[in-house]
Amino acid sequence: MGKEGSFVFVKKIDSNTNAEIEEINLSNYKIDRPLVLILNGSGLENNTQAGKSINVINSLLGDFVLKADVISVNYNKGTYNEDLLDSNISRLVDELFFPLTTSDGKRIDTESACKNMRNINIFAHCYGNTVIRLLLERLDEKMETIGYNRTERELIIEQIFAVIFASNYTTRQIKHLNVISPNDKMFVSVGDKLWESMAVKLISGQNDIKISLIDKEKIIDILNKAKVNGSKQCYVSSKLFKDFYEKNDRCYVMQDNRGLDLVTSPIYTNGRPDHTMSGLARGENGESNVDLTPSGDCVSECISYSLSSSVANSILNNESENFIPFSIRRLKSKLENIVQPLNEQKLDNNKNLST
């Protein structure tokens, strides 16, 4: 394994669950086909754990696993101080991302850079979203030095697609699917306003949300109850709305700038916190994991479709002379079809919301 403190990047020699893990030297790695880069949580510090993350993503990619490179990062204690982290982020950008925008030390045309960057697909778990933010900052700085203006840089960078899981904020510079669950411990620190804001968005139709009538009526009732509590309105509406999501299987898709939020009821059964990614894996034939709730199954299927369709678009760009953007609007429509049957289920009247 690499020197302690330096990120280690690993892949499997094939898509088999028990396949051997091998380390990758980024300086010798060239992106010439779709890449799914797994940016793990901060506690992942060995190659075996990094390999387990690859197994999860491979299961979600289905047939596309044979058409993409899936690489996972072992942080190898490389996030323990600012100097180490800066060094690792610089290496990641300089050796993997920046070469997609340059040739012989000079910038390439914007359309070609967009086509190249469309090969980058990311699954970010928890701390992995912080790594995205840092690498995007570094990439933006590097691109500016070779002459890309701000508009060009934003257009090129947004071609990266990321699934963000178990993070308490969204990276809005890129196209994304951000999974949000009230049963994830990360959201304890966000505060009540998140849930009040989400309730208002749902019933007002903000961000082109498709909501069932029965849910809209229930959420209006929640907000009306909160109004009579005066100064406690935010707390009460948040608590009731959070209860509603925890006690009924629901999964809603919301537009969020360049990407989508997927707001879900608890993902895992038996009260297990919705923070680990291992249970998202699907079976060999795409069947659901027994550890998933109906909402969790929808989340897993939505992540699977999102990653697969982004990889498919990467392939199209590699085969086409012209740049073909990845359509978030089209993705939203497909994900809404996936979650619609769940959201139209009747509410369980035996699960009374606390007041």
Q: What is the DSSP string of 169-206?
A: S--TTSEEEEEE-TT-GGGGGT-THHHHHHHHHHHHTG
- The answer to whether the beta carbons of residues 334 and 309 sit under 8 Å apart is yes
Q: What's the sign of the alpha-carbon dihedral 197, 203, 206, 212?
A: positive
The pLDDT, as a whole number, for residue 230 is 52
Q: How large is the average pLDDT for residues 176-189?
A: 77
Average pLDDT taken over every residue of the chain: 87
**17-33, pLDDT tens digit by residue?**
888 999 999 999 999 99
Give the CA count within 13 Å in the CB-facing half-sphere of 51: 16
- Contacts with 234 (C-beta within 8 Å, 6 or more apart), sequence order: 192, 193, 196, 226
The pLDDT, as a whole number, for residue 287 is 86
229 confidence band (pLDDT: 50, 70, 90): low
**Res. 247: pLDDT tops 90:** no
Q: How large is the average pLDDT for residues 50-72?
A: 95
**Res. 13: pLDDT tops 70:** yes
Specify the higher pLDDT residue, 275 or 34.
Answer: 34
- The answer to whether the beta carbons of residues 44 and 50 sit under 8 Å apart is yes
Specify the higher pLDDT residue, 167 or 297.
Answer: 297
**Res. 51: pLDDT tops 70:** yes
Strands (E), the chain: 8-12, 21-24, 35-39, 69-74, 102-103, 106-107, 120-125, 161-165, 175-180, 251-256, 259-264
**Res. 79: pLDDT tops 60:** yes
Q: How large is the average pLDDT for residues 87-113?
A: 97
Q: What's the sign of the alpha-carbon dihedral 293, 299, 303, 306?
A: positive
What is d(CA 219, CA 211) in angstroms, rounded to the nearest whole number?
11
**128-143, pLDDT tens digit by residue?**
999 999 999 999 999 9
Q: Which residue has the tokens 């299961």?
A: 59
The dihedrals phi and psi of 17, each to the nearest 5 degrees, come to -55, -35
**Res. 350: pLDDT tops 50:** no
Per DSSP, the residues of 258-287 read: TEEEEEES--BSTT--TT-SGGG---TTSP
pTM across the whole model = 0.91
- The answer to whether the beta carbons of residues 57 and 163 sit under 8 Å apart is no
Q: What letter would DSSP give residue 94?
A: I
353 confidence band (pLDDT: 50, 70, 90): very low
